[in-house]
């Protein structure tokens, strides 16, 4: 940890930075300047830290991911450097606050959602455990679009995050990537990742083109054919329309080719021969986006003289693959023709790998190249890595028994589970200091090093004073969120209402539309004179991929319901709907600590894990959820009294899909359901929203309902009614909160990373 012997010394360091940058004392700086100065100072301190020592077996990890959703770095890095409290106290003496300064830090949104944020949590834990490992990704100039609401619809705006005070350290390193017909230099920038409780730092390596395109005058339209300049311009949104995404393949090959060269370089620098790759390198492939690292490494090793079979064996020993999805339509396959255009040198290798895979199994379902000459990236990963893992217990079981069964039959020893985790440093210590203080006052601060120690809180479930003050912590966080909503969005909410929160990417399988049906139900109840015990505020946050029409239609419905409730004087005192604009990591850090009821309502079998469910739990929210993803493990850990579960089981759902046994219309005709769906076409809603959009959504819900919202909606309403009734017994609710916090330790990313290391990486 960084030690400044006196607060004075810290002040001197800060003064040196403000003097050099702004010729001012810290006191004379604006909040924006002070933010920049602190960013610069923590960046200097983090960058000065050495890499963790290599372990005795000399292995080093490279975590390859197309996305790293880092979020703001100032507070997190201050914490890792041991400076969070000293800086907070110093600022206080100056009459300033860290929270105010942070408003000026741009958020690097280099990811879509869960997968990208997981990668960021993992880097934090790898550094905190002092493991020798770096991230490898791309330096997108525009992260995920910025969301605006215009006329109750989503509009997308560019999100430039690179500013002079951003976190990139130039490294002077570059590699040449050979594409079909031209070469391109990959320039390496680093972000230093200081390890909490360590004196070392890891690195996030981000590759960029040497001569990036200038920002477009407006919008986010880049010339996707201008690969040399636009390759790193923007991050692809996660949507189901993948056709024609040639630039995406350019991005992927650029990342893995430069990354593979970096790995072989460092291997040589460490004094090891290329034929020892499998012994000295661990590569984790985060979903299929970096899968081309496999053929690329094989190509580079054979070019260095290794026989093909030996190169394959080394790569298989080095690489491991993580699967994050069971949605068949989300599995990446690329036309071989694309790869022939982008990286023709890989085509013969892919054909050889396909031939080799066919010698291992005659089952056409496990082939790499299909009859249409499409390359199944996940298939290549499973054949030519030594480990395939799912991200929650249920997800891994589903992979083994249904989605990837032919592979499991072929390679049972390769399959393993690594239930996701989140970093409690960002997601509890930094975002919820009030709760962190409450915990430490009761069990000491050992939990900040080992989250399993949170279990020591369990005896306090019988301590009335502790329960009372836990409720006060929650009330404090709800008031904090209310203030933020007022200042950022001009919306005033009632901190004494129940905060029911669903924040995640908008996807039909996550079923925000089912939550919207609950709003419609509650609206009708209130109109009929049946009011809830206390007001409810339903908060949503979600971005829809720009090309995902159904998702955008659901946003429209939610925003229309928001207007409906706001403008109806009978309803507004009892039911509010608020959708936060531009939901991102920064919003999450304010929403999660303020949550009472955590909505985790995906169709069972569809959410691989979920990770916000873990963050909510650790912050004392009670889950209302289906038995899906990691919710299953949450339910096991807290027991039935401390979670509200509902809905069809994953077995039932998988069976319905297999038989084609689900008929939305049958469920629509149930008396408790029809009026909810038909409300989409009611005069009240049509007066607010766009008729064509609402009609399209109504039709889809009634006739298709691919993710079975109508199957579960009545059970959902019943479960939410139970949860809201449970909330009214404040002491009993506080016990549920406490139990959730106490049992959340399992979901620390430190635990997850320790398992990756013990069972896959062996660093
Ligand atoms: C692929 C090809 C072309 C364009 C975009 C994509 C693409 C981009 C992002 C495909 C998928 C993603 C993101 C997936 C994701 O976030 N999955 C989530 O991963 C979490 C971490 O494991 C899980 O908790 C979630 O359940 C899972 O949905």
pLDDT for position 291: 98
Q: Is the pTM of this model over 0.95?
A: yes
> If you compute the radius of gyration of the chain from its CA atoms, what whole number of angstroms results?
26
* DSSP strand pairing (498-503 vs 536-541): parallel
pLDDT for position 55: 73
Q: How confident is the model at residue 214 (pLDDT cuts 50, 70, 90)?
A: confident
Quickly tell me which residue has 């009611």 as its tokens: 682
Is 90 exceeded by the pLDDT of residue 409? yes
Q: Are 417 and 717 in contact (CB under 8 A)?
A: no
Q: Of 604, 640, 238, nearest to 397 (Cα)?
A: 604
Is 80 exceeded by the pLDDT of residue 552? yes
pLDDT for position 163: 74
Tell me the CA–centroid distance for residue 707 and ligand 1, in Å: 18
Q: Of 468, 290, 419, nearest to 756 (Cα)?
A: 419
pLDDT tens digits, residue range 495-522?
999 999 999 999 999 999 999 999 999 9
Tell me the CA–centroid distance for residue 541 and ligand 1, in Å: 17
Q: How confident is the model at residue 532 (pLDDT cuts 50, 70, 90)?
A: very high
pLDDT tens digits, residue range 706-729?
999 999 999 999 999 999 999 999
Is 90 exceeded by the pLDDT of residue 243? no
pLDDT for position 241: 73
pLDDT tens digits, residue range 177-193?
999 999 999 999 999 99
Tell me the CA–centroid distance for residue 111 and ligand 1, in Å: 9
Q: Which positions ≥6 away from 105 have C-beta within 8 Å?
A: 35, 39, 72, 73, 74
Buried b vs exposed e over 56-76: b needs ≥16 C-beta within 10 Å? eebbbbbbbbbbbbbbbbbbb
pLDDT for position 331: 87
Q: Are 462 and 746 in contact (CB under 8 A)?
A: no
Tell me the CA–centroid distance for residue 350 and ligand 1, in Å: 24
pLDDT for position 220: 67
pLDDT for position 531: 97
Q: How confident is the model at residue 1 (pLDDT cuts 50, 70, 90)?
A: low
pLDDT for position 3: 63
pLDDT for position 657: 96
* Residue to mutate (ligand 1; options 109, 110, 114; most atoms within 8 A of CB): 114
pLDDT for position 327: 82
Q: Of 63, 253, 251, 287, nearest to 141 (Cα)?
A: 251
- Strand-by-strand arrangement of the 169-179 sheet: 169-179, 182-194, 201-209, 133-138, 60-64, 281-286, 319-322, 388-390, 415-417
Atom from ligand 1 closest to the CA of residue 507: 28
CA dihedral 255, 257, 262, 263 (to 10 degrees): 110
pLDDT for position 647: 98
pLDDT for position 217: 65
Q: What is the mean pLDDT of residues 433-437?
A: 98
In Å, how far are 65, 652, 705 from 610, measured between CA atoms? Answer: 18, 20, 22
How many H helices and E strands in the chain?
32, 19
Is 70 exceeded by the pLDDT of residue 472? yes
pLDDT for position 244: 76
pLDDT tens digits, residue range 660-701?
999 999 999 999 999 999 999 999 999 999 999 999 999 999
551 C-beta neighbours (distance < 10 Å), count: 24
pLDDT for position 164: 63
Atom from ligand 1 closest to the CA of residue 611: 24
* Residue to mutate (ligand 1; options 113, 145, 327, 629; most atoms within 8 A of CB): 113
Q: What are residue 188's DSSP bridge partners? A: 207
Atom from ligand 1 closest to the CA of residue 395: 26
Is 90 exceeded by the pLDDT of residue 238? no
Residues annotated as catalytic (active site), given as ranges? 324, 504-505, 510, 611, 615
User: What is the residue with the minimal CA distance to atom 24 of ligand 1?
Assistant: 610
Tell me the CA–centroid distance for residue 735 and ligand 1, in Å: 34
The least confident of 16-30, 58-72, 321-335, 354-368 is: 321-335
What is the phi/psi pair of residue 19, to 5°? -65, -45
- Using DSSP's 3-state secondary structure scheme, residue 284 falls into strand
pLDDT for position 165: 63
* Residue to mutate (ligand 1; options 121, 137, 238, 253; most atoms within 8 A of CB): 238
The helix (H) or strand (E) run that includes residue 681 is none
Buried b vs exposed e over 158-196: b needs ≥16 C-beta within 10 Å? bbebbeebbbbeeeebebebebeeeebebbbbbbbbbbb
User: What is the residue with the minimal CA distance to atom 19 of ligand 1?
Assistant: 115
The per-residue pLDDT of the chain, averaged, comes to 95
Tell me the CA–centroid distance for residue 115 and ligand 1, in Å: 5
pLDDT for position 5: 56
Per cent of the chain over pLDDT 70 is: 98
Atom from ligand 1 closest to the CA of residue 118: 21
* Residue to mutate (ligand 1; options 324, 332, 422; most atoms within 8 A of CB): 324
pLDDT for position 57: 79
Q: Are 711 and 717 in contact (CB under 8 A)?
A: no
User: What is the residue with the minimal CA distance to atom 1 of ligand 1?
Assistant: 238
pLDDT tens digits, residue range 600-625?
999 999 999 999 999 999 999 999 99
Cα 416 versus chain centre, distance? 21
Q: How confident is the model at residue 222 (pLDDT cuts 50, 70, 90)?
A: confident
Q: What is the mean pLDDT of residues 196-221?
A: 88
Atom from ligand 1 closest to the CA of residue 237: 5
Q: How confident is the model at residue 326 (pLDDT cuts 50, 70, 90)?
A: confident
List, chain by chain if needed, residues with CB within 6 Å of any ligand 1 atom: 112-115, 118, 236, 238, 242, 245, 248, 324-325, 330, 332, 391, 420, 607-611, 629
Tokens of 142: 């525009």
Q: What is the mean pLDDT of residues 731-745?
A: 98
Q: Alpha helices of 275-331 — where are they, by DSSP H?
A: 277-280, 293-303, 308-318
pLDDT tens digits, residue range 253-300?
999 999 999 999 999 999 999 999 999 999 999 999 999 999 999 999
* DSSP strand pairing (201-209 vs 133-138): parallel
């Amino acid at each position: 940890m960084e030690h400044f012997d006196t607060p004075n010394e810290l002040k001197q360091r800060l003064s040196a930075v403000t003097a050099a940058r702004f010729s001012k004392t810290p006191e004379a700086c604006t909040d924006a300047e002070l933010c920049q100065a602190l960013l610069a100072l923590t960046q200097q301190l983090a960058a000065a830290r050495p890499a963790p020592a290599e372990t005795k077996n000399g292995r080093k990890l490279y975590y390859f991911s197309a996305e790293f959703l880092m979020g703001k770095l100032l507070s997190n890095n201050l914490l890792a450097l041991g400076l969070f409290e000293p800086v907070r106290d110093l600022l206080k003496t100056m009459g300033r606050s860290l929270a105010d300064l942070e408003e000026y830090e741009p958020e690097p949104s280099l990811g879509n959602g869960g997968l990208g944020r997981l990668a960021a949590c993992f880097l934090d834990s790898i550094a905190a455990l002092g493991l020798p490992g770096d991230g490898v990704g791309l330096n997108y100039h525009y992260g995920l679009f910025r969301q605006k609401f215009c006329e109750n619809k989503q509009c997308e705006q560019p999100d430039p995050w690179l500013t002079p005070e951003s976190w990139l350290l130039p490294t002077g390193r570059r590699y040449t990537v050979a594409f079909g017909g031209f070469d391109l230099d990959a320039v390496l920038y680093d972000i230093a990742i200081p390890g909490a409780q360590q004196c070392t730092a890891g690195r996030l390596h981000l590759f960029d083109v040497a001569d990036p395109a200038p920002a477009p005058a407006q919008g986010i339209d880049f010339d996707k054919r201008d690969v040399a300049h636009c390759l790193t311009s923007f991050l692809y949104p996660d949507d189901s329309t993948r056709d024609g995404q040639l630039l995406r393949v350019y991005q992927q090959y650029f990342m893995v080719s430069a990354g593979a060269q970096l790995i072989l370089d460092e291997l040589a620098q460490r004094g090891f021969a290329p034929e020892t790759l499998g012994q000295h390198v661990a590569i984790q492939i985060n979903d299929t986006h970096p899968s081309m690292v496999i053929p690329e490494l094989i190509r580079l090793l054979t070019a260095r003289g290794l026989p093909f079979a030996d190169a394959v064996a080394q790569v298989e020993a080095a690489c491991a693959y993580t699967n994050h999805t069971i949605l068949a339509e989300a599995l990446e396959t690329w036309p071989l023709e694309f790869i022939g255009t982008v990286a023709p040198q890989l085509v013969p290798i892919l054909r050889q790998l396909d031939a080799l895979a066919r010698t291992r199994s005659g089952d056409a379902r496990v082939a790499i190249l299909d009859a249409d000459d499409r390359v199944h990236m996940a298939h290549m990963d499973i054949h030519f890595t030594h480990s395939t893992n799912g991200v929650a217990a249920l997800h891994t079981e589903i992979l083994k028994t249904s989605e990837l069964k032919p592979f499991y039959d072929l390679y049972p020893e390769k399959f393993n589970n690594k239930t996701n985790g989140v970093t409690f440093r960002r997601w509890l210590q930094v975002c919820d200091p009030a709760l962190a203080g409450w915990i430490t006052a009761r069990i000491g601060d050992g939990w900040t090093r080992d989250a399993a120690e949170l279990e020591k809180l369990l005896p306090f479930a019988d301590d009335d004073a502790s329960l009372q003050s836990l409720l006060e912590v929650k009330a404090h966080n709800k008031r904090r969120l209310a203030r933020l909503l007022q200042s950022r969005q001009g919306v005033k909410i009632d901190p004494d209402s129940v905060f029911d929160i669903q924040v995640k990417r908008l996807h039909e399988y996550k079923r925000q539309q089912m939550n919207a049906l609950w709003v419609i139900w509650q609206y009708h109840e209130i109109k009929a004179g049946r009011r809830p015990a206390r007001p409810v505020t339903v908060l949503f946050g979600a971005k829809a991929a720009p090309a995902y029409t159904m998702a955008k239609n659901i946003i429209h419905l939610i925003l229309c319901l928001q207007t409906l409730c706001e403008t109806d004087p009978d309803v507004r005192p009892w039911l509010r709907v608020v959708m936060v604009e531009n939901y991102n990591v920064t919003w999450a850090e304010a929403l999660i600590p303020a949550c009472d009821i955590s909505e985790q309502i995906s169709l069972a079998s569809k959410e691989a894990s979920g990770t916000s469910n873990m963050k909510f739990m650790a912050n004392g929210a009670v889950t209302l959820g289906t038995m899906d993803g990691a919710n299953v493990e949450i339910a096991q850990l807290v027991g039935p009294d401390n979670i509200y579960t509902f809905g069809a089981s994953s077995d039932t759902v998988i069976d319905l899909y297999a038989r084609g046994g689900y008929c939305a219309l049958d469920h629509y005709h149930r008396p408790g359901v029809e009026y909810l769906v038909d409300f989409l076409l009611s005069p009240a809603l049509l007066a607010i929203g766009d008729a064509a959009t609402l009609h399209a959504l109504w039709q889809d819900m009634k006739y298709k309902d691919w993710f079975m919202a109508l199957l579960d909606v009545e059970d959902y309403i019943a479960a939410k009614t139970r949860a809201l009734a449970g909330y009214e017994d404040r002491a009993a609710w506080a016990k549920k909160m406490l139990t959730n916090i106490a049992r959340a330790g399992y979901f620390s990313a430190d635990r997850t990373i320790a398992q990756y290391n013990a069972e896959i990486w062996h660093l």
